[in-house]
Amino acid sequence: MAKTKESLKTQIYNAILDHIFSGEFKPGQILNEKELVEKFGCSKAPVREALIALCSDNVLRSFPRYGYEIIRLTSEEIEEIQNYRLILETGYLRNCYHNLTKLQLSELTRIADRCLSPESTVWEHWEANTEFHLTLLSFAHNRYASEQLARSMAILKRAYAQFYWHTWNQSVPSIDVQHHYPIIESLEKKDIERAIQLLKEDLSDFCLY
């Protein structure tokens, strides 16, 4: 019973996130528990638990007896996350670049190819780009660092929905992943300073229009 209850809570948690990513639920909108119960056709308990979990993850803000507001990410907050990523990703890359293997670089190339797929949807593109950065950091073999980057990318996914959803077009993939191949080439040459500079430029391509 507990397992089923937890599974339903997780499904509702993910469904609410999906609605935020798709733009059906918008930043600043108030979500009502009763309306969500009707929408998902379930009891109050898993909906309430999902809402509480989303509050804990800073996706929602609770207003007692009123509802749950979808938190709007500010450009300042996003800049702070990007600055954190810059230190995290460049620091660990500098520590591990000399041990990178041809197999690992081939894996990065495979992911870079996916990032430029002309048939990608906005979220397929986002997931491929995220995989590139998580894979690159994973070569440092620090699980905690990888978990923190994954958490940062989850927040930035909401920012992607907030700022890019209505302006998405097929020129975006080539713009925000244009440094991936040069990064790989620099790492093949063990040119860490060039790779670090390119990674910085890659992170700066996450612009808010």
Residue type, 110: R
Q: How far apart are CA 7 and CA 30, in angstroms?
A: 24
Nearest CA to 106 out of 127, 135, 85 is that of 135
User: Mind listing the pLDDT tens digit for each residue in 12-39?
Assistant: 999 999 999 888 898 899 999 999 999 9
Element (H, E) at 135: helix 122-138
β-pair partners for 69: 30, 61
Per-residue pLDDT of the chain (209 residues; tens, 9 = 90+): 344 556 899 999 999 999 998 888 988 999 999 999 999 999 999 999 999 999 998 899 999 989 999 998 888 999 999 999 999 999 999 999 999 999 999 999 999 999 888 777 778 888 999 999 999 999 999 999 999 999 999 999 888 777 765 554 444 555 568 899 999 999 999 999 999 999 999 998 775 44
With contact defined as beta carbons under 8 Å apart, do 195 and 179 qualify? no
Residues across the chain:
209
* CATH class of the domain defined by 75-204: mainly alpha
With contact defined as beta carbons under 8 Å apart, do 43 and 35 qualify? no
What residue spans in the chain does CATH classification 1.10.10.10 cover? 2-70
Whether domain 2-70 has CATH 1.20.272.10: the reply is no
- Could you tell me the two tokens for 167? 């302006």
Convert 35-96 into a string of H (helix), E (strand) and C (coil): HHHHHHCCCHHHHHHHHHHHHHCCCEEEECCCEEEECCCCHHHHHHHHHHHHHHHHHHHHHH
What residue spans in the chain does CATH classification 1.20.120.530 cover? 75-204
Angle, in degrees to the nearest 10, between helices 180-188 and 102-115: 170
Note the pTM of the prediction, 2 decimals: 0.81
Amino acid 203: pLDDT? 92
